[in-house]
Structure 1
Amino acid sequence: MTFFRSILVIAILALVPSATLASQVRLKDLVEFDGVRGNDLVGYGLVVGLNGTGDGLRNSPFTEEMMINILERLGVNVSGEQFRAKNVAAVLVTAALPAFSRTGGRLDVTVSAIGDAKSLLGGTLIMTPLNAADGQIYAVAQGTVIAGGISADGDAARVVHGVPTAGIVPSGARIEREVDFDFSTLTQMRLALRTPDFSTASKIEQAINAQLGRGVALMMDAGTVEINISATRLQSPAHVLSQIENINVEPERRARVVVDQRSGTIVMDENVRISRVAVAQGNLTLTIEEAPLVVQPNPFGEGETIVVPRTAAAIAKDQGQGLAEVKGGTSLSDVIAGLNALGVSPLDMIDILKSIKAAGALHAEFIVQ
């Protein structure tokens, strides 16, 4: 079975004449600043007002229990009552508390059904406390849910578009507690590289020292550059970050080949190189045909009708193209030209790249998704 007839190779190349300028990246896009980070929040809540698309309370008893608790807190006595409402759904509410968030600020929250609700469209999230990893409440969420899809039911069919059991509440959470962290008292700050690399860390060190003076930045390892705040003679760590976060640095990248076996997509970095190698590739086609034969007794005769199986199996071997030489690539264009010369499908190309890597001729990190 042939999946593709053409090779899909996506190459990321510079689109402007100056490769140096095109590949420079701002420091804020390469590193994480020590202390400047968000915190994840999560809560368990209830969405009401659904149009018959909520949880089935027999299948989701926790929904009924939570609804009873909310009503009792509001002064409604429901002891011994049995609910069969279909307009409520139990949900998990998640949000991210950004760095330097202050009390009274607003957050977007994501709402996801955890029961057998069919849709959260048109529902309203009831007041839900959001906790961090330390168990403290940092925000409270409430508001109208904007669902990410729609569903429609009939007697014998159902159609679903998107994901109606998840949605968002824009600015639906109010911050009630701040993260206890005094950023202004820092005397040292570390920059954590998102992709650790000794060469990139060295370039970051040199760029910061060129901007703020020698001795301000020191490379600690492949993933860390330390900043001496006092050596900058600026007013605060915030002023230091404002000075260095827009410095342009040309990062070094590892050569990588990323393949997606499901879609047959191959992505190559511009630093990929292939040594001179010869490749032969052929296909085996297995064919199995079933043609059962029904055998019946003569008219008015004794016996019974039986089915006699008949199977025809064959293996066909394609002639292939023999050994093909892939010349050593000195650039991404040479590598692509050599691989395209093999004239095989993307899925076969993935197998060929695996074999070239195993032979030691592919000089790049090989990642299969």
Structure 2
Amino acid sequence: MRSLVVLIIALCLSGLSGAASAQRIKDVASIQGVRSNQLIGYGLVVGLPGTGEQNPFTEQSFRTMLANFGIRMDPNIRPNVRNVAAVAVHAELPAFSKPGQTIDVTVSSVGEAKSLQGGSLLQTFLRGVNGEVYAVAQGSLVVSGFGAEGGDGSRIVVNTPTVGRIPNGAMVERAVPSGFANGDSLTLNLHYPDFTTAKSLADTINERLGASPESGYVIATPIDAASVRVTAPRDAGQRVGFLATLENFEFTPADAPARVVINSRTGTIVIGSEVRLLPAAITHGGLTVTISENQQVAQPNAFADGETAVTTQSIVDVDLADSRMFKFEPGVTLDQLVRAVNEVGAAPGDLMAILEALRQAGALRGELIII
């Protein structure tokens, strides 16, 4: 576990050490109003090999289903529905989905059914948040898990046999209205809001399309840290072509904020490239880490051009009770601190404690987030 944690840290530090690279607009932003919608429904899975459930709401659902087909049951007779299970069905309706297209659905048991293996979902209405039906689901389930139970009550379960999927199991019956082609403009929303990134995005669009604030004509205008308004053609077909070109423009987003993210449950530590350390001395149990800086004056050769400059030489020392010591080249970075702690065999919890103490002492320049 410790080796995996340190490997994750090393990869993050090495991968983020350079400047931010150029990215396509489609990878960092989405179009406002163009999104998927969640659908949900309640139905019955039948044909189970005795792994269903016998409870009041399953029986009621079974009676209602039969009544819809004109079959009336004696209310005093309790049906045996061990081959039936009540389930919740949910799906994502992608943007611009049209009637007749199909989507995948996930089926989950809501009662005491032991397994949905081998079952088939009967026609189930999938509704949106407004209560309207947007798709109808039906079909045979694909279940990856299974369970087995002995006569003495012993049981073994592999994966989750009470959840299954139906690929292309729902047919879209109604399209969700979209404001994509309305108005004279559209709005790009950044996945990670940042004022610098929003301005860079707007500047790139204006530059690539021949517009500039100096000329008094702009195509893209940053609204806030998350949104950029872009003037677009009114015709829907032209707007599609305009966006096809726009979303492939490359620009350089701002550097990520200086953050250290710690997952206290798994021991995972991710350190951003912008995090910096100030000189400090750390003692953690038998471990002592010292960070110091020495000022040195560098002068050019007598016959060479140049100016006298003051440089900083940084030294990181790690000391243990058994006199093991590690000395590093100049440059105080978290990379060195992580390597130092790893060299002496400290656990991830030790590094977490050190980082928290550094933040409290003001020697860690970055936001510390514990999840």
Instruction: Verify the 8 A CA contact 1:130 1:140 in the aligned structure 2.
Output: yes
Instruction: Verify the 8 A CA contact 1:9 1:266 in the aligned structure 2.
Output: no
Counterpart of 1:39 in structure 2 is 37
190, 206, 230: which one pairs with 1:209?
Answer: 206
172, 175, 179: which one pairs with 2:172?
Answer: 175
State the AA in 2 paired with 1:32: S
Q: How does 1:134-283 map to 2 (within 5 A)?
A: 134-156=130-152, 157-214=154-211, 215-230=218-233, 236-252=238-254, 253-282=256-285
Number of residue equivalences: 323
329, 343, 351: which one pairs with 1:349?
Answer: 351
Distance 1:350 1:52, change over 3 A: same
Instruction: Verify the 8 A CA contact 2:45 2:86 in the aligned structure 1.
Output: yes
Distance 1:42 1:87, change over 3 A: same
333, 336, 359: which one pairs with 2:335?
Answer: 333
Structure 2: distance between partners of 1:227 and 1:347:
48
Counterpart of 1:287 in structure 2 is none
Distance 1:175 1:235, change over 3 A: closer
Counterpart of 1:301 in structure 2 is none
Q: Secondary structure in 2 aligned to 1:148?
A: coil
Q: Secondary structure in 1 aligned to 2:144?
A: strand
The one-character-per-residue Cα deviations of 1:60-94 (angstroms, maximum 9, x if unpaired) are 31111111100110122213231122111111110
Instruction: Verify the 8 A CA contact 2:13 2:271 in the aligned structure 1.
Output: no
Q: What TM-score does the superposition give when structure 2 sets the normalisation length?
A: 0.80
1:107 aligns with 2:103: yes
Structure 1: distance between partners of 2:14 and 2:364:
22
The one-character-per-residue Cα deviations of 1:274-312 (angstroms, maximum 9, x if unpaired) are 212111112xxxxxxxxxxxxxxxxxxxxxxxxxxxxxx
Stretches of structure 1 that go unaligned for 5 or more consecutive residues are 283-319
Counterpart of 1:292 in structure 2 is none
Counterpart of 2:72 in structure 1 is 77
Q: CA RMSD in A?
A: 2.6
Cα shift at 1:4:
5.2
Cα shift at 1:25:
2.0
Structure 1: distance between partners of 2:276 and 2:40:
46
Q: Percent identity?
A: 39
Runs ≥4 in structure 1, deviation > 3 angstroms? 3-7, 13-16, 232-235, 326-343
State the AA in 1 paired with 2:161: P
Cα shift at 1:325:
0.9
Distance 1:190 1:5, change over 3 A: closer
State the AA in 1 paired with 2:92: A
Instruction: Verify the 8 A CA contact 1:9 1:267 in the aligned structure 2.
Output: no
Instruction: Verify the 8 A CA contact 1:91 1:115 in the aligned structure 2.
Output: yes
Instruction: Verify the 8 A CA contact 1:91 1:111 in the aligned structure 2.
Output: yes
Distance 1:66 1:233, change over 3 A: closer
Instruction: Verify the 8 A CA contact 1:5 1:345 in the aligned structure 2.
Output: no
Q: Secondary structure in 2 aligned to 1:163?
A: coil
Q: Secondary structure in 2 aligned to 1:236?
A: helix
Instruction: Verify the 8 A CA contact 1:118 1:164 in the aligned structure 2.
Output: yes
Cα shift at 1:186:
3.1
